[in-house]
Amino acid sequence: MRRNHLAVSMLAVVGALTAGLIGWEIGRAGKPVVAPLDALATDTLGERLMARVGKRFVADNRQGRPVAGGSVTFYDQPRPYDESFCWTTAYTVPTAIVEDRAPAHGEPLGGNVEVVRLYGAWKAPTSPDQSDSAGQKACAAYRDFQHMFREANPDAGTRGAYLLDTMITRAKIGRLDFPGKCVEEPRDSRTHDCDMIALLTRLTFNQISYAETKASENSTNPSRYTDELTIFTGRDRGRETVTLTVVSTQFRVMPSSNDVVELLNAGIVLRKPQIVSVDAVVSALD
């Protein structure tokens, strides 16, 4: 597992935004004249900010049809991260704000604009390394925003995707050479053991929705991590939830950028959808 350490500098982002907000005017001598920030009204400053941010949007989640209530999520241009991933910034905006109108009856009043960073794999994380130009080209064309994940801690999701891909690969050849346990929590709330190999073989590494590091010991090399991955299977309605807790070590090879990640053990909890009405039954069967 290679890490490029492509940390995004907030100073660089602020600098770029500031340049766009200030604007340029050409003076008589042909030199740019900078308008000071304190000379701009708040609404003018905000308008320039939003215009500059919006220029990077490449897609949204409307899927070609109007959105009734709720919100719209916009995605900016994905960029390479690590060896196998792209990252993007997602902006979720209430529909009333997008349409510049007052909230309709039943719509939430006000609503917050949410800005989050998402990650997605453009190739299998365990596949051989490719050139930096390959990652740049893949992320420039990446548009699979529905299969991107959020992470609560740095590298929780990218490390988790690598480990999940490792587990899936081993499951497909029927060899899980690590301690593990799979339990199922069906609708009757009684826990049963489940077949980890069967479950893993129907998962893919890009089904992760959220990743969080629950515990870490990183004062030594190798470091030890306990990551929890939330994975959804099936369609949006009536889908199962898989919670995968995986323990691993991560050995940092210095001064190179290559890390060696080793899977120690894993636990899976499979939760069936809660079907409580006829409508829910129909939705689950669709």
Range in 46-55, 116-125, 207-216, 221-230 with the lowest mean pLDDT? 46-55
Q: Which of 222, 92, 205, 123 is nearest to 157 (CA)?
A: 205
Among the residues of 6-155, which ranges form H helices?
Answer: 10-22, 42-54, 95-98, 132-141
Report pLDDT for 260: 87
- What's the full length of the chain, in residues? 286
Looking at the chain, which runs of residues are DSSP E strands? Answer: 24-26, 32-34, 57-60, 71-76, 79-81, 85-94, 114-121, 150-151, 180-185, 192-193, 208-217, 223-233, 240-252, 259-271
Confidence at 281, pLDDT banded by 50, 70, 90: very low
Share of the chain above pLDDT 90, in %: 47
Q: pLDDT digits over 45-64, tens only?
A: 888 888 888 999 999 988 76
Confidence at 271, pLDDT banded by 50, 70, 90: confident
221 vs 250: CA distance, rounded Å: 8
Report pLDDT for 66: 55
19's tokens: 């340049």
SS3 27: coil
Report the mean per-residue pLDDT for the chain: 80
Confidence at 25, pLDDT banded by 50, 70, 90: very low
Cβ-in-10-Å burial (0-12, 13-18, 19+) of 231 comes to: buried
Confidence (pTM): 0.78
205's tokens: 């590494």
Q: pLDDT digits over 126-183, tens only?
A: 999 888 999 999 999 999 999 999 999 999 999 999 999 999 999 999 988 889 999 9
- Enumerate the domain spans of the chain: 1-55, 57-148, 153-286
Confidence at 234, pLDDT banded by 50, 70, 90: low
Statement: residue 224 has pLDDT above 70: yes
Q: pLDDT digits over 62-83, tens only?
A: 876 555 567 899 999 999 998 9
Confidence at 208, pLDDT banded by 50, 70, 90: very high
Beta partners for residue 208, in sequence order: 231
Mean pLDDT in residue range 7-16: 40
Report pLDDT for 188: 61
Q: Which of 269, 222, 265, 85 is nearest to 159 (CA)?
A: 85
Q: N- to C-terminal Cα distance for the chain?
A: 39
